[in-house]
Amino acid sequence: MKDYLQSLLFQQISREEAQRMLQCSKAQFREYPAGSLIFSETDRPKYLYLLLEGRVQIAKHLPSGKRNLLFQVKEMEVFGEVSFAAEEEFYWYEATAVKPSQVLLLPRHFIYGVCSNACEHHKMVIRNLLDIQARNNLQMTKKLHIITNTTLRQKIALWLLEVGKGTTKVTMDMNREELSEYLGVTRPSLSRTLMEMQKQGLIRVEGKTIWIEDKKEIEKIMEDE
């Protein structure tokens, strides 16, 4: 199991302080098999989750039966904090372990209630959580910017530029089915458009790696369509 102190949630907190908090809060370490549900859309928020190992997907099921992949949780990232902080009666989305995952669960009451000693490290966790929420809000804003573009080519182009972060190499952390769910399109449409863009010399697809062959033309897609 990886060291939970590597997470931003425990930034500027010593091991002794963190262990004291975990004991005081009655935090739990749990393992989830691949494909298992960590929480559903109708569960009541009880914990703040920290992914130690594995991979978790946050998704929403639409009335049509389609699944909208909101984002993926990577190791040492926090999830479940939106409904958690908003005190919603139920989660609006679900969390599923894509790979065998080890998760730290911090009870809701611990985050909301500062202990009588008003420990500085407890306050630091709350400040760190606020910073994490701001980062996650930005992530969702970026996704909204991507999926609200008119054409699938535009969505793919913007996604490539965002994930590539100025480089010409994009390594996908999801498969075609997951990417199509993330972009809100069908898998055949995604595959067909990627093939068309490759034939046009805009990109080169090699397994889970996409090379941007003509960055200027990729950027022009955002203006021309």
pLDDT, one tens digit per residue, over 58-115 is: 999 888 888 889 999 999 999 988 655 555 578 889 999 999 999 999 998 887 665 5
Q: Which residues contact 47 (CB under 8 A, 6 or more apart)?
A: 80, 84, 105, 106, 107, 108
Is residue 224 very low, low, confident or very high in pLDDT (cuts 50, 70, 90)? low
pLDDT higher than 90, residue 197: yes
Q: Is the dihedral of CA 88, 124, 30, 4 positive or negative?
A: positive
Rounded Cα distance, 202 and 195, in Å = 10
- The residue that leads in pLDDT, 33 or 65, is 33
Q: Which of 84, 38, 86, 31 is nearest to 59 (CA)?
A: 38
Query: Could you give the angle at the alpha carbon of 183 between the alpha carbons of 181 and 187, nearest 5°?
Result: 55
Tokens of 96: 């599923």
Q: What is the pTM of this model?
A: 0.81
Whole-number pLDDT of residue 40: 95
pLDDT higher than 60, residue 195: yes
Q: Is the dihedral of CA 39, 41, 46, 50 positive or negative?
A: positive
Is residue 116 very low, low, confident or very high in pLDDT (cuts 50, 70, 90)? low
Least confident range of 45-49, 88-92, 98-102, 183-187: 88-92
pLDDT higher than 70, residue 132: yes
pLDDT higher than 90, residue 27: yes
Overall average pLDDT of the 30-45 stretch: 94
Beta carbons of 46 and 114 less than 8 angstroms apart: no
Provide the β-strand partners of residue 69: 59
Q: Is the dihedral of CA 193, 194, 199, 202 positive or negative?
A: positive
Whole-number pLDDT of residue 133: 85
What share of the chain in percent tops pLDDT 90? 56
Tell the burial category of 158 from Cβ atoms under 10 Å away from its Cβ (0-12, 13-18, 19+). Answer: buried
Is residue 54 very low, low, confident or very high in pLDDT (cuts 50, 70, 90)? very high
Rounded Cα distance, 20 and 156, in Å = 46
Beta carbons of 225 and 154 less than 8 angstroms apart: yes
pLDDT higher than 60, residue 118: no
Whole-number pLDDT of residue 141: 85
Whole-number pLDDT of residue 124: 86
Is residue 210 very low, low, confident or very high in pLDDT (cuts 50, 70, 90)? very high
Whole-number pLDDT of residue 160: 94
Beta carbons of 10 and 50 less than 8 angstroms apart: no
pLDDT higher than 60, residue 123: yes
State the chain's mean pLDDT as an integer: 88
Tokens of 136: 């996650």
Neighbours of 164 (CB within 10 A): 17
Q: What are the b/e assignments for 142-154, b being 16+ CB within 10 Å? A: ebeebeebeebbb
